Homo-oligomer: A and B are copies of this chain.
């Protein structure tokens, strides 16, 4: 079984690590524009070999784990050259642009659009960890457009990775993921920015930061290379979610300013429902 990982970072690298323990016979080829990271991936045993272009043709599985803007350019090129039996899986955080970009590609049936909801705030091959996908959700878009035999190959992999599968159309995916993922990243980045700006001359202040601040600001450690193209591709839904978030913050601030503390209480009490919602 020949597997090619394009982008040997956190997601691609973690998937490679799991694939090695799932498929004993797998040979993992790696591609990365960042030669240093590719060498790390080789040293860390994430990949077995650096891939040449012709390796794509003979691959059983190609996993594209790139920033979404680069994926949008590379995936059609990969589909131009893949073998008949090759499954190409994309794992990016936006789904409509890539689904639209290849909708009329002659090899559309070799492709599966997925979004494994898994990750950490770190990036690069050194951030790759085993078991990252276990118990996590994988969203698959337009599954009917992938050849049935290749669907089965993908499902075997996802099952063995321990993932739960959810099917969704790419438009709905992008709309909802703006709220439950992309907005969190912006709220966290801007919280980090606000506190850094305020406390730039008082480094000691961060001694006062507890686990609450750390957890709320964690996503502000995320990679700008990865997130800028996500925000660009999903701009419409993200701007809408940001408008709603800013309105809610402004209302809450006005309740404080006007001493409406019973309403402040009620706002928090209503939002406590998040306890039940998140299991």
The interface residues of chain B lying within 8 Å CB-to-CB of A209 are 117, 180-181, 278
22 contacting pairs across A/B (C-beta < 8 A): A118-B211, A120-B211, A166-B207, A166-B208, A176-B199, A176-B208, A180-B206, A180-B213, A183-B194, A185-B212, A187-B191, A188-B216, A190-B245, A190-B252, A190-B271, A193-B248, A196-B274, A203-B277, A214-B278, A215-B218, A232-B261, A239-B257
- Which of A136, A195, A211: most chain B Cβ within 10 A? A195
A137 on the interface (CB 8 Å rule)? yes
Closest Cβ of chain B: how far from A167's Cβ, in Å?
11
Binding site for B on A (CB under 8 A): 117-121, 136-137, 139, 164, 166, 173, 176-177, 179-181, 183-199, 202-222, 224-225, 227-228, 231-232, 235, 238-239, 241-246, 248-250, 252-253, 256-257, 259, 261, 264-275, 277-278
CA distance A220 to B222 in the complex (A): 22
Copies per complex of this chain: 2
B184 touches A191 (CB 8 A): yes
Q: Within the complex, which residue of B176, B208, B249 is in contact with A242, where a contact is CB–CB below 8 Å?
A: B249
- Assembly CA distance A216 to B181 (angstroms): 10
Asked if A206 contacts B270 (CB within 8 A), the reply is: no
* B278→A217 contact, CB < 8 A: yes
Residue among A181, A192, A194, A256 facing the most chain B CB atoms (10 A cut-off): A194
List the B side residues contacting A203 at CB < 8 Å: 277
Is A272 a contact of B224 with CB atoms below 8 Å?
Answer: yes
CB of B228 within 8 A of CB of A271, answer: no
Residues of B with C-beta under 8 A to A256: 231-232, 235, 238-239, 242
List residues of chain B with CB within 8 A of the CB of A265: 224-225, 228
Are A249 and B245 in contact, with the CB atoms below 8 A? yes
A117-B208 contact, Cβ under 8 Å, with A191-B245, A213-B184 = yes
Can you list the 8 inter-chain pairs with the closest CB atoms, starting with the nearest?
A224-B268, A117-B210, A184-B216, A180-B209, A192-B274, A192-B271, A190-B248, A242-B253
Is A187 in contact with B137, judged by CB distance below 8 angstroms?
no
Which residues of B sit under 8 angstroms from A248, Cβ to Cβ? 190, 193-194, 197
The listed residue (B136, B217, B246) touching A274 by CB distance below 8 A is B217
Which single member of B179, B192, B219, B235 contacts A195 (CB below 8 Å)?
Answer: B179
Cβ contact within 8 Å between B261 and A231: yes
